[in-house]
């Protein structure tokens, strides 16, 4: 691991940058924006210490260099994780084999087949609180809607949504707190038990592999052999952890912004054709994932003196919000042209569920504004933006 004292002697910037620290709304992006103005890279002393890259071109290149930047550890503050998630922590060429299995299930054509179902679920959830004139967005919509779509997309009972919402909350509420590791372990165990029982059920009564994800995995092969139960259970755990909280976090910032901008709300309602561009702009401005990589060998990477075993953060906000590449990057502009954001990452590990996420976000904007065109923030206390996986803890909304 890199010696901080030697860095200070060599003139490398050393910063106490803690992304796990809760802050005010948009606080993490403002901090990254400010650091980017002064540093192309720096070393943060947080946790075990790690590099943070802020130059957009260098970040993009790093994502494309798995030979130097390994995914065996993807949380920058955890250089030696006690787990290996599939395919998250698998490097090419093995990673490609798993993606070859998973990609068809999350392809554009597969997601397009969920269009009507996604809209029906969205409409039904909003209907539970529409006439009340208020909701706690995160608890009543932000966490529920992506979970129901996820369950439906995999052929799982939507009625199990409350269980998955609780499991995901237990995982992410305790992911960064070592003192609460037992709660996290218990939640992961509950999740594994759920899918293990589901596998037993599929073996007892085979289902249609075109509509049931677990049956599809049971029929899949890697290197000419069926996937093991451990591989299948691991994959299912990863999909839950990667796909639910991220979409909920993205929704929280979209609707926080729209609650304060009547013109933007009106435009979405009156011109639904703008929704895809709006989604891309929100993904650019409010990228919520801060991926990490582990350095495989000593290297001077564009001036950054990395050592084998160092961790590196590749913050997506820095790649998407650089004023040298994007005009007024901190502003939402639905008419922005050539929006080349990497809100879903880049390279071999680009988000598997990006097409499903786009469908969920677009549908949420369209259906919500059909049913509740005007709404406002109803918070009586300051909103908190949690750290780690960036998102709002609460978002109270009200309407007349």
Per-residue pLDDT of the chain (400 residues; tens, 9 = 90+): 677 777 776 789 999 999 888 899 999 999 999 999 999 999 999 989 999 999 999 999 999 999 999 999 999 988 998 888 999 999 999 999 999 999 999 999 999 999 999 999 999 999 999 999 999 999 999 999 999 999 999 999 999 999 999 988 888 776 666 566 677 788 888 999 999 999 999 999 989 999 999 999 999 999 999 999 999 999 999 999 888 889 999 999 999 999 999 999 999 999 999 999 999 999 999 999 999 999 999 999 999 999 999 999 999 999 999 999 999 999 999 999 889 999 999 999 999 999 999 999 999 999 999 999 999 999 878 898 887 778 898 999 999 9
Token couple for 166: 């609780």
What is the gyration radius of the CA atoms in the chain, in angstroms? 21
Q: Please give the pLDDT value at position 368.
A: 98
- pLDDT value of residue 320: 96
pTM (2 d.p.): 0.94
Ordered structural domains, the chain, with CATH: 4-398 (1.10.630.10)
Nearest to 94 by CA among 110, 111, 72: 72
Which tokens sit at 186?
């218990």
Could you give the CA distance from residue 146 to residue 85 in angstroms, rounded to a whole number?
21
One-character DSSP codes across 69-80? EESS--STT-SS
pLDDT score of 173: 73
Query: Looking at residue 179, what is its pLDDT?
Result: 66
| Predicted pLDDT of residue 3 | 77
CB atoms within 10 A of CB 101: 17
Give the number of other CB atoms < 10 A from CB of residue 256. 20
Q: Hey, what long-range contacts does 360-364 have (CB within 8 A, 24 or more apart)? A: 360/118, 360/145, 360/146, 360/149, 360/247, 361/247, 361/250, 361/251, 361/254, 361/279, 361/282, 361/283, 362/275, 362/276, 362/279, 363/115, 363/118, 363/119, 363/122, 364/122, 364/145, 364/251, 364/254
């Amino acid at each position: 691991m890199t010696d901080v004292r030697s860095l200070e002697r060599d003139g490398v910037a050393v910063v106490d940058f803690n992304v796990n620290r809760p802050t005010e709304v948009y606080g993490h992006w403002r901090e990254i924006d400010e650091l980017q103005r002064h540093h192309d890279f720096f070393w943060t002393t947080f946790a075990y210490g790690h590099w943070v890259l802020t130059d957009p071109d260098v970040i993009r290149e790093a994502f494309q260099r798995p030979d130097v930047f390994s995914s065996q550890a993807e949380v920058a503050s955890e250089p030696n994780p006690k787990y290996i998630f599939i395919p998250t922590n698998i490097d090419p060429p093995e990673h490609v084999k798993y993606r070859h299995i998973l990609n068809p299930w999350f392809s554009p054509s597969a997601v397009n087949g969920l269009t009507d179902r996604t809209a029906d679920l969205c409409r039904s959830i909003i209907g539970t609180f529409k006439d009340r004139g208020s909701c706690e967005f995160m608890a009543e919509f932000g966490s529920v809607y992506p979970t129901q779509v996820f369950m439906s997309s995999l052929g799982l009972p939507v009625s199990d949504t409350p269980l998955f919402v609780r499991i995901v909350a237990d995982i992410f509420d305790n992911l960064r707190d070592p003192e609460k590791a037992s709660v996290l372990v218990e939640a992961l165990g509950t999740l594994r038990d759920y899918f293990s029982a589901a596998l037993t059920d599929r073996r007892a009564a085979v289902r249609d592999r075109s509509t049931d994800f677990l049956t599809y995995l049971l029929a899949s092969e890697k290197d000419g052999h069926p996937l093991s139960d451990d591989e299948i259970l691991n994959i299912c755990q990863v999909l839950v952890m990667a796909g639910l909280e991220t979409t909920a976090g993205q929704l929280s910032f979209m609707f926080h912004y729209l609650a304060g901008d009547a013109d933007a709300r009106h435009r979405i309602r009156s011109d639904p054709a703008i929704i895809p561009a709006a989604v891309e702009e929100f993904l650019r401005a409010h990228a919520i994932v801060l991926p990490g990589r582990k350095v495989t060998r000593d290297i001077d990477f564009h001036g950054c003196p990395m050592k084998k075993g160092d961790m590196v953060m590749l913050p997506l906000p820095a790649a998407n919000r650089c004023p040298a590449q994007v005009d007024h990057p901190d502003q939402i502009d639905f008419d922005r042209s050539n929006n080349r954001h990497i809100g879903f990452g880049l390279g071999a590990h680009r988000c598997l569920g990006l097409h499903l996420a786009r469908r969920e976000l677009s549908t949420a904007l369209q259906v919500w504004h059909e049913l509740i065109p005007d709404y406002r923030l109803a918070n009586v206390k300051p909103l908190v933006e949690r750290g780690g996986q960036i998102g709002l803890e609460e978002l109270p909304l009200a309407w007349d």
